[in-house]
Structure 1
Amino acid sequence: MKSNYFVIYIAAFFLTWACTSDQSNNGTSNGDNGPITHTLDTTIGYCFQLYGNSIAEGFELKIKGNKIIGEGNRAYLSTQTTYRLRIEGTLNGNIAEVDIYGTDIRKTTKPFTHRETWEIGTEVLKVKNRKIEGFDGDYEFHRVLCQTKANKDSSLYDSFSGFNEEGYAVVSRKGKFGVLNDKNQLTVSISYRDLGAIREGVVCFFDEQIGLYGLLDASNGQLLIEPMYIELMAFSEGLAAFMAEDGKWGFLNRDLEVVIEPTLINVNFFKPDPYRNAFNEGLANVETEPGKWNYIDKTGQIVINGDFLYTRGFENGEAEVYKDNKWYFINKSGMCVKNCD
């Protein structure tokens, strides 16, 4: 499993809308709504993307005079709900007041409308104080290539993963991936076939020549571990899970030492994506024998020996498990605390 499949899938999804703007003014004509106040070059495409752990959004903007219209998609990954977006707004300088209209593509939820303030730059679109449940605050969307519009700017990225809490984002161009920091500096060159999630300053990479994963320093691209693992997960709570040649899982610490030998059948199977955490609140859910899932501590000792059929990671002191044909919640002592009947 390639760890970057999430980014590739969402990027492909957003290709269902592509920039088709045929604007030919260069910011000097009046348009149909008064003298132009902004400094944006409307001869280029304006497509923006943002990815997060739970949401992905992308849209195309067309600028005519001081007016903005646009369309795109917003996907809530946890609920697998996707909205078509229609955007209308007015520019005052490079600040835009926009109305966003969303319609569920499967028509299972009600349409919505909300208004927000944007600051639109050549490379970055900043959303100011967005007020949406689960998606509130300030956000930065990065400009990417509009797939169906010829564009002279060859420096743009084909995809942008969104900055994580450490200030790094995975970007791609022509099928290769690299790392960008929040100062818009490439810290890892766009030369890797696959990159994983960036955690604790480290990113795993895929060497397509030998088909194995290694580790890089996300701040400078320095090689930390030669490609030698079949799979690698991002660091979580100071440990990273790896799959050895025999298909068994173990753990590395931040000194890149093996601290839990590769004897485990699987790790955190019930959340198979590159952003999953092996360890949550000090414990990792692992398959110790075929069909038997338990929880280990950071020394590799089994601390909850329930032989569950399925398990999820701990959150707020509780974890959901499946056994005897039912789901229920346990605490860190392994005792049932919810849905026990």
Structure 2
Amino acid sequence: MAFLFEYGLFLAKAVTVVVAIGAIVVLIVGASQKPKSKSGEIEIKDLSEELAQAKELFLHQTLDKKELKAHLKENKKASEEKPQGQTFVIDFSGSLDAHEVSSLREEITAILTIANKEKDQVLVNLESGGGVVHGYGLAASQLIRIKQAGLPLTVSVDKVAASGGYMMACVADKIIAAPFAIVGSIGVLAQIPNFNKILKKNDVDFEQITAGEYKRTLTMFGENTEQGRHKFKSEVEHTHTLFKQFVSQHRPSLDIDKVATGEHWFATHAKEFDLVDEIKTSDDMLLELNSTQQLYKVKYKAKKALAERLGVGLSVVVEKLGIKVLSRMQNSKF
């Protein structure tokens, strides 16, 4: 047991030294090379091919020889028929800060360089509960680029498209949603904690110097005034007005005063308010489109920094080494 333990420590030290030397060499080589401007790349996945493979695998296991032969003959004829166009599929899962918009803009730009507005279209699988106004405003503007290029745009909501998420969705020519997807929340929320009473209790002074009457309306550490609160609230209400105008512009059939209360609804109820056009999952939509269109998923993959790649590689080596040592120790007997 002691021998195995000592051997494990020696092996760990040896691997650590080798990895460290390798990391230093890679860093030196990387530093000597000129930095590349390309920070990522577009990946294309053939969804139609994946669906076809899944279908064939199932049929080969369920049909008898005669039925399979007939199917293969029919399938050969069908494969000779060319699709009427291409559907480019984008997945967007947004966080509070909407940093995913950097990938979205790359994906849309790539699509616009090759898409044919006469026969191609775009499907965006959207999932977001909203977040910062400027981030989701830019994300919605990216989707507008698709429509400005003359491409039909469909947004699919399987789980949630609320607040900033709905700001994006409303741009589409058509919104489909799963029955229990959460939709709506056309409202604005702003909140800020205030620690002024705690500071006073502990005899801590706080000073804040600004130039401009409304450079700072509410503060976390100073004493807020009614004037500041009133100004802050007016800014929130102004943002809400812009939000309502944006939604009304893209969904003119909506009774905006009825739906812009900050409430959210399940899709089956939201359809009654015309917030969505059809109750359907993204999977159903893809199967429907696949009968006439060639489906491609478009994804922008950012390249990881060198230090990040080295960190991941080192962690994997250490993890595997630890598992091996632990396994040998557990398998030993007294």
Place the TM-score, normalised by the shorter chain, in its bin. Answer: under 0.3
Give the alignment's TM-score, normalised by structure 2.
0.24
Give the alignment's TM-score, normalised by structure 1.
0.24
Which structure's CA Rg is the greater one? 2
Q: Whose helix proportion is higher, 1 or 2?
A: 2
- Structure of greater relative contact order (alpha carbons < 8 Å, 6+ residues apart): 2
Q: Whose strand proportion is higher, 1 or 2?
A: 1
